[in-house]
A and B are shown apart, each in its own frame.
Chain A
Amino acid sequence: MTVSSDESTTSVTRVSPDSAERVRRRDGSAILRIPDIDTVEAVSLPTGLGTGHQDDERMILNMGPSHPSTHGVLRLLLEMEGETVLRSKPVIGYLHTGMEKTGENLTYLQGPTNVTRMDYASPLFSELAFSLATERLLGIEVPPRAIWIRMLMCELNRISSHLLFQATNGMDLGAVSMMIYGWREREEVLRFFETVTGLRMNHNYIRPGGVAADLHSGWQRDVRSLIDLIPPRLDEYEILLNDQPIFQQRLQGVGVLNPEEALALSATGPILRATGYDWDLRRDEPYLDYEKVEFDVVIGTSGDAFDRFAVRLEEIRQSLRIVEQVLDLMPEGDYRTQDKKVTPPPRGRIDESMEALIHHFKIFTEGFHVPTGEAYEAVESPRGELGCYLVSDGGPKPYRMHIRGPSFINLQTLPHLMHDRLIADAVAIISSVDPIMGEVDR
């Protein structure tokens, strides 16, 4: 694994347009494209799906939706020959609750409460993408302190999300003590979130115009204690996992993807970076104030499950580096915009002014109006590019709210990764893709 340094030296590999052609050619042998109802019949047939020969041993195996290694409710249809996976099909939608439709019926101020429930392991990123898109349409500037609070919280969220990955990845591979350790450290980060936002998860903290509340006094001490706590624990994980032969053998060379395939499949985030492709929106399409902090983009070399694990582990360290810089650079000032259009008047004004009271009431009942238009804003979530496409008709609610969930798109790599591998590897591969089903199904 290598770490690529600053912007000037980065180079993006040129990808030939033939890559799509190659991915498509393999599609037929990797992706199972049959409807549910046919699988019921196929399973019951003694000869299975295959060519119809008597000695054909192919069968369809149904894995999930309630399977401990599927991280929720991912269901997989696997076409097996013996223990080898030939074709597979991820079946999703078990958590679909129509959140994009719900988003059309909530005001822009209520919007973050909805999107935060999509990727429940890194809720702040969905809130951020939604807020950035709303602010883009409104044309408002967010005060510097709000920007830096957002960066602090998002990087801590990236840490907690990757710690959760370390925990579940360990659990899926049988390293059960890792599960306890990952959860333990994540809890420390969530405790900080609880102090700042009031909630461990689904914070509704980042809102159009800024953040919901200022950091508490003494936040520096709390963040500092996290910075002191986590790195030694990461070293312990490395001793526990990286150098362990069983762990290496379960992951190395399993689920290999090359950069061209990853790009053709629109994969982003650690999956893309693990293939050795140097791409991170924080550096390459900077949002917030990421160009003012120093960090390295972590890339892998072989694109296998081990690299995806290692990339995420190292990204925790890079996020800690950013957090440390935010600690020193945090500006003073407002934590939300003073634009009267989106921010309610201060509490004191409400007691003395009737207009302020009406204004306050209108913001929270009717909501603020957003000019007509459309905007797409993307952020680098722990799982890849998380985009929010908003269409406004000039009213107080989005006309259309679409979230580009990285887990949803990344899930397409599964059949390619599992093709021609043993079924035991399938578990390691699902885990290494790290899908969050809330975001997949939305």
Chain B
Amino acid sequence: MTSTEVDFGADMVPPVPTTKTFEQLVLHPDRATYTQVISALRDRGYITATDLTVVDYLNHPGRSDLPEPVQPERFEVVVSLFDHIRRHRVRIRVQVPAGDPIVASLYDLYPGTEAMEREAWDLFGVVFEGHPDLTRILLPEDWVGHPLRKDEGIGSIPVQFKQAPK
């Protein structure tokens, strides 16, 4: 990775806790400053949002990589941004509580996140406020539930073979 050493977290207002995992910079803003931080990053040259996904930490034994004062919550929205000029990737991890799984949409900043946020809502039930069309994308429109949540079991449909011995 040809990244120049940059630490954005500290000089942002308010400062954002940062960590490094395997040479990649990770920012941990809270929900209130989430869009503000991403908008600041975009102005600094992170012109494309490569990825957006959610992780459900319900059964996870505990994350040790969260910096002070970030409180772990059940859901975590993970966004990858890329600065093509400095060739630098940054990851943003936001904690989203289970009781109120709402986070602001990035659609206004990066229109390309539209499908990713729809997918995240479809599979995890995290609501992206301000999204133009937050509907199911991979599952049928009348589907109930969000299957990538950890408390959604993996279903199995028993197959009945006519000739099977009883």
Residues of A within 8 A of B (CB): 12, 14-15, 17, 20, 23-24, 27, 31, 33, 35-37, 92-93, 96, 98, 100-101, 105, 136, 263-268, 279, 284-285, 372-376, 378, 385, 387, 389, 391, 393-394, 399-400, 402, 404, 408-409, 411-412, 441-442
Tell me, yes or no, whether B141 is within 8 Å of chain A by CB. yes
User: Of B22, B91, B154, which is in contact with the most chain A CB atoms at under 10 Å from its CB?
Assistant: B22
Report Cα–Cα, A35/B123, bound state, in Å.
18
B135 interface neighbour in A35, A266, A399, Cβ under 8 Å: A35
- Cβ–Cβ contact A17 & B42, under 8 A: yes
Q: Which residues of A contact B49 (CB under 8 A)?
A: 266
Shortest distance from the beta carbon of A89 to any chain B beta carbon, whole Å: 9
A20 touches B111 (CB 8 A): yes
CA distance A31 to B112 in the complex (A): 13
B interface residues, Cβ below 8 angstroms from A:
1-2, 21-22, 24, 42-43, 47-51, 53, 55-56, 59-61, 63-65, 78, 80, 84-85, 87, 89, 91, 107-116, 119, 123, 132-133, 135-141, 147-148, 154
Asked whether B51 lies within 8 Å of A389 as measured between CB atoms, the reply is yes
7 A-B pairs in the complex with CB atoms less than 8 angstroms apart? A14-B85, A37-B141, A93-B136, A100-B148, A285-B2, A285-B89, A391-B60
- Nearest Cβ on chain A to B53's Cβ, whole angstroms: 5
Task: State the Cβ distance, B137 to closest chain A Cβ, in Å.
Answer: 6
* Interface contact B53-A389, CB-CB below 8 Å: yes
Residues of A within 8 A of B60 (CB): 391, 393, 399
Q: Which residues of B contact A374 (CB under 8 A)?
A: 21, 55, 65, 78
With a CB–CB cut-off of 8 A, which chain B residues contact A391?
A: 55, 60
Which B residues touch A100, using CB under 8 A? 123, 148
Contact check, A24 vs B108: say whether CB atoms are below 8 A apart.
Answer: yes
Across the interface, A101 reaches (CB within 8 A) one of B43, B48, B147, namely B147
| Cβ A266 vs Cβ B113 within 8 A | yes
Knowing A285-B1, A393-B61, say if A266 contacts B53 (CB, 8 Å): no
Most buried by A among B24, B43, B112, B141: B112
Whether A266 contacts B110 in the complex (CB less than 8 A), given A279-B84, A394-B61, A412-B115, comes out as: yes
Task: Report how far A20 CA is from B107 CA in the complex, Å.
Answer: 9
Q: Which of B64, B109, B133 contacts A33 (CB 8 A)?
A: B133
Q: Which residue from B22, B132, B137 sits with its C-beta under 8 Å from A27?
A: B132
How far does the alpha carbon of A24 sit from the alpha carbon of B42 in the complex, in Å?
Answer: 16
Supply 18 further A-B pairs (C-beta < 8 A) apart from A266-B50, A412-B114.
A12-B84, A12-B85, A17-B47, A20-B109, A36-B141, A96-B138, A266-B48, A267-B112, A268-B50, A376-B80, A387-B50, A387-B80, A402-B53, A404-B80, A408-B115, A409-B112, A412-B115, A442-B138
Q: Is the CB of B115 within 8 A of A409?
A: yes
Q: Which residues of A contact B108 (CB under 8 A)?
A: 20, 24
Q: Specify which of A14, A93, A264, A279 is in contact with B138 (CB 8 Å cutoff).
A: A93
In the docked arrangement, what's the CA distance between A385 and B48, Å?
12
A385–B84 Cα distance when bound, in Å, is 13
Measured CB to CB, the nearest residue on chain B to A33 is B133
Given A105-B154, A285-B89, A408-B115, the answer on whether A35 and B55 have CB atoms closer than 8 Å is no
Q: Are B112 and A265 closer than 8 Å at their CB atoms?
A: yes
A92 touches which one: B65, B112, B137 (CB < 8 A)?
B137
Nearest-neighbor residue (CB-CB) of A272 within chain B: B48
Residue of A nearest to B61 (CB): A393
Closest-by-CB residue of A relative to B2 is A285
Smallest CB separation, A95 vs chain B (Å): 9
B59, B63, B114, B116, most chain A CB atoms within 10 A: B114
Nearest A residue to B48 via CB reads A263
The 9 A-B residue pairs with the shortest CB-CB distance, nearest first, are A266-B112, A33-B133, A93-B138, A404-B51, A96-B138, A265-B112, A402-B53, A23-B111, A12-B84
Distance of A15 Cα from B112 Cα, bound (Å): 15
Indicate if the CB atoms of A101 and B148 lie closer than 8 Å: yes
Name A388's closest neighbour in chain B (CB-CB). B51
B111 near A24 with CB under 8 A, answer: yes
Q: Contact: A389 with B78, CB < 8 Å?
A: yes
> Which residue on A lies nearest to B133, using beta carbons?
A33
| B85 touching A93, Cβ below 8 Å | no
Question: Please, how many angstroms separate the alpha-carbon atoms of A378 and B147 in the complex?
Answer: 25
Min CB distance B86 to A, Å, is: 10
Partner of A373, one of B21, B42, B48, B89: B21
Question: What is the CA–CA distance of A96 and B107 in the complex, to the nearest angstrom?
Answer: 24
Query: How close is A286's CB to chain B, nearest CB, in angstroms?
Result: 8
**Measured between C-beta atoms, what is the minimum distance from B76 to chain A in Å?**
9
Minimum CB–CB distance from B63 to chain A (whole Å) comes to 8
Are B85 and A35 in contact (CB-based, < 8 A)? no
B-chain residues with CB within 8 Å of residue A393 when the two chains form the complex: 59-61
CB distance from B105 to the nearest CB of A (A): 12
Partner of A375, one of B1, B22, B110, B154: B22
* Contacting residues, chain B, for A31 (C-beta < 8 A): 133
Q: Which residues of B contact A105 (CB under 8 A)?
A: 154
Which residue of the partner chain B has the closest CB to A416?
B111
Is B87 a contact of A284 with CB atoms below 8 Å? yes
Whether the Cβ atoms of A373 and B65 lie closer than 8 Å is: yes
The distance from the CB of A87 to the nearest CB of chain B, in whole angstroms, is 12
Question: What residue of chain A has the Cβ atom nearest to residue B55's Cβ?
Answer: A400
